[in-house]
Amino acid sequence: MTQIERPTLSVAETANLLGISRWLVQQAVHDGSLRSARVGRRILIPRSRLLAWLDGMEASAIVAPATVPEYAPPRPRIRLTPSSQQPANQPDTEGAGNTGR
């Protein structure tokens, strides 16, 4: 008896097939890079779209060379010294006049 391949895969099946986590598949679906269809609460990925997505990834990897980010030296940290900090319990002296009561 021959087994017919289903035209769609679940998120878990896609993740298992690609060897990645379900979360990564869901992220690809959510950001629109991997096209999918929803049936109720299920997310189904058509095999044809998965193959096209993989072909697109391969083509973009060949065309776009990896870029190396420019070196940026670390930014200096600013520290507050005790002399530049105000005590938290010091009352505000401005406008502390008589309230008339």
Total Cβ atoms within 10 A of residue 25: 25
- Indicate the SS3 state at residue 37: strand
Length of the chain counted residue by residue: 101
In CATH, 8-63 is 1.10.10: yes
CB 55 within 8 A of CB 47: no
Burial of 11 (C-beta count, 10 Å sphere; 0-12/13-18/19+) = buried
**What confidence tens digit (pLDDT) does each residue in 7-21 have?**
999 999 999 999 999
Separation CA 29–CA 40 (nearest Å): 16
The β-bridge partners of 42 are 39
| Residue pLDDT, tens place only, 27-74 | 999 988 888 989 999 999 999 998 888 888 766 554 555 555 666 666
pLDDT digits (tens, 9 = 90+) for 84-95: 555 555 555 555
Say what the pTM is: 0.53
Q: So where are the chain's domains?
A: 8-63
